[in-house]
Structure 1
Amino acid sequence: MYVFRDGKRTVSGAELVSSLLSALGRWLIAPEQEKEDRALEALIAAGELECAMLDGGSNRLSSLHACNVASEITEVLARALLTEQRDLLSSIIQKAEHIAPAATYEVAVQEGFAYYALHPRKIAMLLDELEVQRPMAVIGIRSIGVTLSAVACASLRLRGILCRRITVRPTGHPYDRSLEITPELREWIEGSRDAGFLIVDEGPGISGSSFLAVAEALVKCGVREQRIHMIGSRAVEPAALRAPNAAERWTRYHFHVLQNAPLPPAGAGEGFKGNGRLWREYFPCEESSMPASWTLLERAKFLSDDGLSIFKFEGFGHYGEAIGARAKLLASSFFSPPYLGNHRGFGQYELVPGRLLTLRDRSPELLERMADYVALRSNAFASKIPQTPELERMLRWNWQVEFGEELSIKETQLRAERVAVCDARMMPHDWLCTTGGTLLKLDAGIHGDDHFFPGPCDVAWDVAGAIVEWEMRGEERDRFIREYEARSGDAIAKRLAPYLLAYSTFRLGWSKMAALAMQGQPDEALLERDYQRYRAVALRLRHQQNIERGRRSADPDSSLRSA
């Protein structure tokens, strides 16, 4: 099933440099309690710029010089993060101001920093445990490996260990990547003959092939397998990796896993078990409406030590900043709980007492409240990033995999007329009725722009999501559409049908994939329940849409809404 999106975006080089300079400026004047957050923001911006320049650079001397300057900045900032010193920031700002980037770059999301609470300090913590003694040659796997490798080098150098750093990007099929051994790479490896080799990245992913590609390239250049160490962010069972002969290949090298538990923000108490079970632990929930969770991929969460707020991981640096801006606006518009800021990548929200909604709460008043909410998002969170063509590919692929037939071009044509960062979680259990009777939207800032689909897309995704999740049909559905159109000025009805199919098809794919990943866990049955429900909805929607197309063929003036 196709549920993870690519997330790459095209960014101007000037914007990347400007982001770095802004982050450096904020760090330079940050009060003591914000120093670490601002330092991490600047380091991530530097690593992102370095990665973009290395991926998009040419062999011209000016380009190579700019890449070297960017690499130097990342390494200096990594050291500054670990030492908590700001004495070199003014000189770093001057160097950054003179970087001449290319016009545009393609930038990937650094997933560990954006979604999975991978704090770079964990690299230093692990290296302290390993007690490295010999010189080390550190290889970062781009993208996130740029920043992680810089922190690894800084940590080793602070302990007096000689260290060299380079970054690489393996290419090819995700399950069978390879690394081209360029003359420059071979020369770098041969210049590190007496060193141990340290390969740094998040993951490994499903296949492990990126780590293996780099390790095996080292072996081809004459490095003994015993001298190759890999550092990743999750433990794996080699036999479960999907790269060819992964079990046998993986065990040739030393693999070290970073600390799994997130570094909690100040004021955090105990973490919620399973993370995704937060609402089930804190709010009473009926068995029939128990929300399912893919707990392995849920964001880390903590209850505050005073029990009055919760911390949810929203992202380090600019990733968390974007989510925080949405959370502030929604809170000030009285659609979401009060937002108390981002600390160490965790957004803090006031814990408002109340109960989670169920389908029995569906009412005209609720439909109006949801229409108000979606209309606000359609304008307030309008996106400069266009809707990805991946969304249509996801619909076609998942439908064919699940039902063994192809959808027509018209059925998968997702017209993007009002692109925004959607909510993407319009389920009943993501709405709260406070003890005072106010309806608040929970979990509203993250999911429309996370690791999964949809990413920034037409607001029709949320209108479709509300219709599917609240099981609206007939006049009730038509009323909700009218309420949204009246509030937003967006004539959405004519483009809605493919989004209904896309939403339900994505959710069936997500639930099916999650159920397989959670085999043997309590959530497996809940995810299987959801999969069967979304599957039935998708089939019903397509049947109704086929009937409606037949009606329109006979009567061109028939309404789309009659489906």
Structure 2
Amino acid sequence: MGGAMLVYGDPKRGERADTLCEAIAARLREVDGRPPGLERHAALVGIFIKAGELVQGLSDFEFETLGADELSAGREKAGVLLLDLARLVAQSWSSGFSGHLALPDRIWALLQDLRASRPLSIKEGEGYAFYALYPECYMEAARRSGLGANTVVIGLRSIGTSLSAAVAAAIGAAAPVTLRPVGHPFRREIHVGPVLSQRLLQDRTADFVIVDEGPGLSGSSLGSVADWLEEHGVSEHRIHFFPGHGGELGPQASEDHCKRWAERPRHVVELDELVFGAHRPHRLAAWVSELVGPLGQPLQEISGGGWRSVLACSRHSWPPADPRFERRKFLAHASGGTWLVKFAGLGDIGQRKFEKARLLAKAGFTPPVAGLCHGFLVQKWVTAAPLAPSDFHGAEFIEHLGRYLTFRARRLPQPATRGATMAMLYEMAIANTEEALGEAVATRLKSRLSDGHDLPMVPVDTDNRLHPWEWLAGDDGFLKADALDHSAGHDLVGPQDIAWDIAGATIEFDLSPDEAAALRAIVSDGCSRAVDAKLQEILELFYLTFQLGLWSFATCGAAAEEVKRLDSLVARYRELLLRRLEEGAGQVRSRRDSLP
């Protein structure tokens, strides 16, 4: 189950080239005045990532205009800018974050030349946001590769834009070329203009490296570039890959791509090797100890559902987990207590979550925050028992939940990207229902949703993760765990009207109509606008169908013990969806029966 369900999203944000150039220049001036250390290095990586977004946006703008990737003066200048910044990151990393940063003079002229008043579509790198993929990993892999300075470096947009610059900087190569794979996700292809094609193929002795995150289900993006190179006379022995992990291609990969993947060099240095090595300035434990004091033991890995082993409950009572959507996380044991060290994101991504965490903690909704160390957020680990089912129905909890949702709607900054529209949620709901429950039930759902398309929505930074196991009873009241990631996750929902969270709470806590109305009233009063009960009703159906797809997907490849938990959760969402559809049909019949 889950093959045809809609779960994943692909959010983008709009930016202007001139605004991005100004922001990069301002940050460079600021970081140039900082003292050496990890904070300066992390800020420099953030600038590098933002410059990668600028180059990606400019390149995609030209690609959309021409229908192909082609050389241009603007793209060449953008590539040089990004390579200069990659060299600064490499210098900072290799020096152990010490020494003076020597900013090349031409950086300022390049930024000035790229300041066009041009709208760009920017896609944040998933590896930087979710999967703890560090540019420094690619630099280390490149240094060990033995590749020479005449290597042709090709990055795949989006994230491959900056990752390829990291590789080029490490081996002393020229600025990389970036390409945009297009087409079906499992059968990507590239379109290369004649001038760029000639440039790529001019050195018949050069090696080629293809740089991207992944591979995912098929690896067809990486494979499409290798296909093109071989079709244009490049020997397969000159092709190298720089992927995001050392694993194999996914189950949707073609036989030819699998054969090539097994035979060609793959240059990978993963996070564990990068930040758990012997060199102290690069060790994650050293970064954390600067915030919380000396650690009494090595960092304790609790990723991939491992966090459940340290909960105050038996294994029999463990909640379900889906490692695909989990961030890397560890426990740090210091004399002052235990701390959660969780990947929050590099650059602006991590900084936004850090600021959000501080706001929520200061308001008493989440545990205290110690700081952010190059992508990892350090937050107090609270050992507390999960709430009992009856706790969620108490007036005290509903009041607290209402204040929490109000705070998110009114006090958290506006999200950087937009969430799914009503039309997208509708498409997801019908597809997931038809896959899980059949065409007849999907038809009934269409009828229920027929009058909800034009309801107004006010997107805010919703929680999107109100499941019962995410709540703790602390010494000073209720605390929310995992409150930072899910409105900007890898799924399709994204930021929504605060009614989405009210709908989620109603489903997750099985609130009665009166309890849901009380929660809605608290949030409406706090937000100074009425939360539409009809909108909440529609969003409850969307929420159920999304959760049905999300957790159905999670069963694929899960261990037998985990599948039992997941199946139980999926069955609950399925039953609740059917019940709501039946209740809705009953209400329609009652209205019809009352007609004269």
**1:79 aligned to 74, 82, 87, which one?**
87
1:74 deviates by 0.7
Relative to structure 1, is the Cα distance of residues 55 and 527 closer, same or farther in structure 2, using a 3 angstrom cutoff? same
Q: Secondary structure at the match of 2:241?
A: strand
Shift of 1:355: 2.4
1:453, distance to aligned residue in structure 2 (A): 3.0
Does the CA-based 8 Å contact 2:502-2:516 persist in structure 1?
A: no
**1:20-99 aligned within 5 A:** 20-33=24-37, 34-57=39-62, 64-84=72-92, 86-88=101-103, 91-99=106-114
> Which residue in 1 is equivalent to 2:292?
none
Aligned residue for 1:149, secondary structure, equals: helix
User: Which whole-Å CA distance do the structure 2 matches of 1:121 and 1:482 have between them?
Assistant: 49
Q: CA–CA distance in 2 between the matches of 1:56 and 1:315?
A: 26
Name the structure 2 match of 1:560: none
Question: 2:119 matched to 1:107?
Answer: no
* Structure-2 residue corresponding to 1:529: 568
| 1:501 matched to 2:541 | yes
Q: 1:226 to 1:501 in 2, by over 3 A?
A: same
Distance 2:251 2:269 in 1: 19
- Once the two structures are overlaid, the 10-residue window that deviates more, 291-300 or 92-101, is 92-101
- Give the corresponding residue for 2:21: 17
CA distances 1:160-204 after superposition (whole Å, capped 9, x unpaired): xx5452111111111101112321232022223211111000001
Q: Summarize the Cα distance change of 1:551–1:321 in structure 2 as closer, same or farther, 3 Å threshold.
A: farther
Secondary structure of the 1:199 match is strand
The alignment covers a number of residue pairs equal to 547
Q: Is the 8 A contact 1:512 1:531 kept in 2?
A: yes
**Structure 1 segments unaligned to the other structure (5+ residues):** 557-563
Conserved? CA contact 1:145–1:202, under 8 Å: yes
After superposition, the Cα gap between the structure-2 partners of 1:89 and 1:500, relative to the gap in structure 1 and judged at 3 Å, is: farther
TM-aligned CA distance change 1:490 to 1:90, over 3 Å:
farther
Deviations 1:320-378 (A, max 9, x none): 11112211211121111112222110111122343222323221111111111111112
Matched, 1:4 2:44: no
Q: 1:336 to 1:274 in 2, by over 3 A?
A: closer
Query: Structure 1 residues 97 and 135 mapped into 2: Cα distance closer, same or farther (>3 Å)?
Result: closer
CA distance in 2, matches of 1:404, 1:13: 47
Quote the residue 1:368 is aligned against. 399
Q: Does 1:433 align with 2:433?
A: no
Q: Of 151, 161, 164, which aligns to 1:146?
A: 161
Q: Deviations over 1:90-122 (max 9, x none)?
A: 652453244223431111121001111101010
Q: 1:271 and 1:538, CA in 2 relative to 1: closer, same or farther beyond 3 A?
A: farther
Stretch of structure 1 that moved more, 102-111 or 167-176: 102-111
The yes-or-no answer on 1:490 pairing with 2:498 is no
Q: Give the partner amino acid of 1:350.
A: K
Give me the identity figure in percent: 28
Instruction: Give the conservation status (yes or no) of the 8 Å contact 1:289–1:358.
Output: no
1: distance between equivalents of 2:269 and 2:427?
35
Contact 2:300 2:332 in 1 (8 A): no
2:265 is equivalent to residue 254 of structure 1: yes
**Partner residue, 1:443:** 482
Paired residue secondary structure (1:211): helix
* Counterpart mapping for 1:414-493 below 5 A: 415-434=455-474, 436-488=475-527, 489-493=529-533
RMSD over aligned Cα, in angstroms?
Answer: 2.5
> Is 1:338 equivalent to 2:395 in the alignment?
no
SS in 1 for 2:24: helix
Q: CA–CA distance in 1 between the matches of 2:133 and 2:163?
A: 10
Q: How far did 1:471 drift?
A: 1.4
* Distance in structure 2 (CA, Å) of the matches to 1:118 and 1:403: 38
Task: Return the offset for 1:289.
Answer: 4.3
Give 3-state SS (helix, strand or coil) of 2:511's partner. coil
Q: Relative to structure 1, is the Cα distance of residues 98 and 555 closer, same or farther in structure 2, using a 3 angstrom cutoff?
A: farther
AA matched with 1:484 = V
Q: Confirm whether residue 189 of structure 1 aligns to residue 210 of structure 2.
A: no
- Asked if the contact 1:177/1:209 (under 8 Å) is kept, the reply is yes
Segment drifting more, 527-536 vs 87-96: 87-96
Pairwise CA distance, 1:493? 1.0
> Is the alpha carbon distance of 1:26 and 1:525 closer, same or farther for their aligned partners in structure 2, counting shifts above 3 Å?
farther
Q: Which deviates more from structure 2 when the two are superposed, residues 122-131 or residues 325-334?
A: 122-131
1:559 match: none
Mapped partners of 1:355, 1:530: distance in 2 = 21
Quickly say closer, same or farther: Cα 1:238–1:66, change in 2 above 3 A: closer
- Provide Cα deviations, 1:279-317, integer angstroms capped at 9, x if missing partner: 423321245642211124410112224153211111101
Q: Are the structure 2 counterparts of residues 332 and 109 from structure 1 closer, same or farther at C-alpha, using a change threshold of 3 Å?
A: same
Q: Which runs of 5+ in 2 are unaligned?
A: 93-99, 276-283, 290-294
TM-score scaled by length of structure 1: 0.90
- After superposing the two structures, state which structure 1 stretch, 403-412 or 78-87, moved more: 403-412
State whether structure 2 residue 295 is matched by structure 1 residue 267: no
Per-residue deviation, 1:66: 3.0
Corresponding residue SS for 2:72: helix
Determine if contact 1:189/1:221 at 8 Å carries over to the other structure.
no
Cα pair 2:432 2:549 within 8 Å, conserved: yes
> Of 208, 217, 222, which aligns to 2:228?
217
User: How far did residue 12 of structure 1 move?
Assistant: 2.3
Aligned to 2:266, the other structure's residue is in SS state strand
CA distance, structure 2, for counterparts of residue 553 and residue 89 of structure 1: 75
Q: Hey, what's the Cα distance between the residues in 2 that align with 1:193 and 1:135?
A: 11
Deviation (angstroms), 1:137:
0.9
Counterpart pick for 2:420 among 378, 385, 388: 388
Query: Deviation per CA, 1:42-84, whole angstroms, max 9, x where unpaired?
Result: 100111101100110257xxx9333322211110010010112
On the 8 A contact 2:369/2:378 being kept in 1, the answer is yes
Distance apart, 1:133 and its partner CA: 4.7
Change (3 A) 1:359 1:223: same
Partner of 1:281: 309
Asked if the contact 1:500–1:541 (Cα under 8 Å) also holds between the matched residues in 2, the reply is no
Question: Aligned partners of 2:262 and 2:195: how far apart in 1?
Answer: 28
Aligned residue number for residue 561 of structure 1: none
Equivalent AA in structure 1 for residue 403 of structure 2: D
Tell me by how many angstroms 1:522 deviates: 4.1
SS where residue 505 of structure 2 aligns? helix
Instruction: Give the Å deviation of 1:155.
Output: 0.3
Q: What SS class does the counterpart of residue 308 from structure 1 fall into?
A: strand
**Most deviating of 386-395 and 73-82:** 386-395
- Partners of 2:588 and 2:13 in 1: how far apart? 36
Deviation at 1:538, TM superposition (A): 1.7
Q: 1:383, CA displacement in angstroms?
A: 4.3
- Give the direction of change, closer, same or farther, for the CA distance of 1:545–1:68 in structure 2 (3 Å limit): same
Q: In the TM superposition, what whole-angstrom CA distance separates every residue of 1:396-440 from its partner, at most 9, and x where no partner exists? A: 221222222233276174634221111111112211211x24111
Measure how far apart 1:123 and its partner are. Answer: 0.8
In structure 2, what is the equivalent of residue 408 of structure 1?
446
Residues of 2 paired with 1:361 and 1:41: CA distance? Answer: 42
Are the aligned partners of 1:66 and 1:99 in contact in 2 as well (CA < 8 Å)?
Answer: yes
CA change 1:530–1:52 in 2 (3 A) is same
- The TM-score with structure 2 as length reference comes to 0.86
Q: Assess, with a 3 A threshold, how the Cα gap between structure 1 residues 490 and 21 changes in structure 2: closer, same or farther.
A: farther
C-alpha separation between the residues in 1 aligned to 2:416 and 2:200? 42
